[in-house]
Amino acid sequence: MFYWFYRHLDINIFQYISVRAGLAFFISFLLTMYLLPKFVKWAKSKNASQPIYEYAPDSHQIKAGTPTMGGVVFIFSTIIAIILTVKLNNFYVVCAILTLALFSLIGIKDDYSKIAKKANSAGLSSKAKLILQIVSGLIITTLLILYDHTTTLYTPFYKYPLFDMGVFAIIFWILVMVATSNAVNLTDGLDGLATVPSIMAFVTLSAIVYITGHAVLASYLYLPNISTIGELTIVGTAMIGSLIAFLWYNCHPAQVFMGDSGSLPIGAFMGYLAIVSKSEILLVLIGLIFVIETVSVILQVGSYKLRKKRVFLMAPIHHHFEEKGWKENKIIVRFWIISFMANLLALLTLKIR
């Protein structure tokens, strides 16, 4: 809508991505702040709370009754802010909206099943969820290939592409989207633990997308220049705004959980931004907390199956520290610090090429 003001009413200020990114941020922030309390009130009246995992530390039992599916609100707010501020004829923006919608629908189905049956095991099976994620990823990545999005692979600290993945890029990109989606989902186990690292990741990815879409900046930093992806900066800032508003209610002690309806689209969109900005490898550093959480689960499961011994007291690793006696707030803040430092390093790599 705001870009329409520029094109048809000659309001020049709305041609700039930076201005519309700021508007998207505040629209999504204010809309989430307005809608979320109403959603929490409605969810409590309907007893729409996710059962607490039976093997979770005892301290988690006090969280029983906390509403879930808060992701529905901030994803909805993000999409509304996007529609109001972007060029809707931009291919990359359309794919971004599709990514958010598809993965959010998977999460909604899973969350609703758990709420309806009041059991953690009552949602989508792991196999069904994975299949739906792969199919959703396949749709997005196939569209990118058909649009002739570059399939070259870049790595930090090196200004030239490593090689062209060709059609195998589809497999790699699906892996990136599905892995990141599940990694954020695994991390979402403490109040605000997944929210702040996600905000930091989107700040970094939005900056990279803006630079990659800007011919002069991309040339100066030896980054690939993809002229039309700059518009995704607006999508990224819309997500940041809605997540900051969500954090207002999700910080300890949480009044609402995001649920799979929030964590799955957050991770998928994170992966999507990394793919289109050619930052797939750098995403390991940008989402370091999510990587650590995922690796802890893989090590725990693998060790138990092979040796019948556990590496951690409990996985994901944030539960390990709870079992060691760390207070929830201490774990959360320390993980936030790690995420901040990792994202700062990721931004520094842009200059070292």
Tens digit of pLDDT per residue, the chain (353 long)?
665 555 555 566 778 888 999 999 999 999 999 999 999 999 888 777 666 655 556 555 666 778 889 999 999 999 999 999 999 999 999 999 999 999 999 999 998 887 876 655 556 888 999 999 999 999 999 999 999 899 999 999 888 899 999 999 999 999 999 999 999 999 998 889 999 999 999 999 999 999 999 999 999 999 999 989 999 999 999 999 999 999 999 998 889 999 999 999 999 999 999 999 999 999 999 999 999 999 999 999 999 888 888 998 998 999 999 989 899 999 999 999 999 999 999 999 998 87
Using CB atoms within 10 Å of the CB of residue 275, give its burial: 0 to 12 exposed, 13 to 18 middle, 19+ buried: buried
Quick check: 97 and 82 in contact, CB under 8 A? yes
Rounded Cα–Cα distance for residues 235 and 186 (Å): 24
CA dihedral 217, 221, 222, 224 (to 10 degrees): -50
Q: How many CA atoms lie within 13 A of 172 on its CB side?
A: 19
Domain boundaries, the chain: 2-282
**Residues with Cβ within 8 Å of residue 43, at least 6 apart in sequence:** 49, 67, 68, 69, 256
Q: What is the rounded CA–CA span in Å between residue 229 and residue 214?
A: 9
What's the pTM?
A: 0.93
Cβ atoms < 10 Å from Cβ of 148: 7
Could you tell me the two tokens for 140?
């997005």
CA distance 91 to 226: 12
